[in-house]
Amino acid sequence: MTQSMYRYAGASFRRTMRPEGAALRHERLLTWRRETTVTRLEHPTRLDRARSLGWRAKEGYVLARVRVRRGGQGKRAIIAGRRPKRKGILRMTLAKSIQRIAEERAAKHYPNLEVLSSYWVGEDGKQKFFEVILVDPHHPAILADGRISWIANPAQTGRVFRGLTSAGLRGRGLRRSGTGAERMRPSRRQNRREERRTQTKVIP
């Protein structure tokens, strides 16, 4: 059966994750660690994944590799009398995923662009690397393309900071539906507000 070029590109990247691709993977991570936190790219590392998420090799699209530290928050020990349970050092993990943090950093680095999506490209013992796809909502080539012109809508402004990207929807629990996801829509915060409103008793 004939496979597309993107299937071969995906298989080539997966081989670098195996033991036989360790040398190339280590060389690649060594180069990435020396780069800045947000590095603009000319071509995606994973062409098949970038294309599936909407990236196109045309004007108006920007690709950036973002480096984010792994693990939870780093907290200093409290110099006072407390039990270890109450010191607030362990299990201080953000509810926001590292991928969402990478997207937000890219959006802050390019304030005139909007984040379309992102994908994982590598990690080591301390850091994770994501490639973020950004789009210029004011570029004529974007406005003329019916597949992506929706991103110029004012409702999409700052979409990454409102959890509207794919990673943001996943973090907000909107990838699930049915049993166990009754309080996810329209949002968890709105559901808490409704609960407080119904629990409040109005005294005449």
Run of H or E including 65: strand 61-69
Mean per-residue pLDDT, 37-47: 95
Run of H or E including 62: strand 61-69
Q: 71 or 62: whose pLDDT is higher? A: 62
pLDDT of residue 20: 86
pTM, to two decimals: 0.86
Order the strands of the 114-123 sheet from edge to edge.
38-41, 61-69, 127-135, 114-123
Q: Kindly list the structural domains of the chain, giving each domain's residue range(s) and its CATH number in brackets, ordered by start.
A: 36-172 (3.40.1120.10)
pLDDT of residue 186: 85
Lowest mean pLDDT among 20-34, 104-118, 130-144: 20-34
Residue 86 has pLDDT above 90, yes or no: no
Q: What is the mean pLDDT of the chain?
A: 90
8-state DSSP, 139: -
pLDDT of residue 115: 97
Residue 203 has pLDDT above 70, yes or no: no
Residue 87 has pLDDT above 90, yes or no: no
Q: 145 or 82: whose pLDDT is higher? A: 145
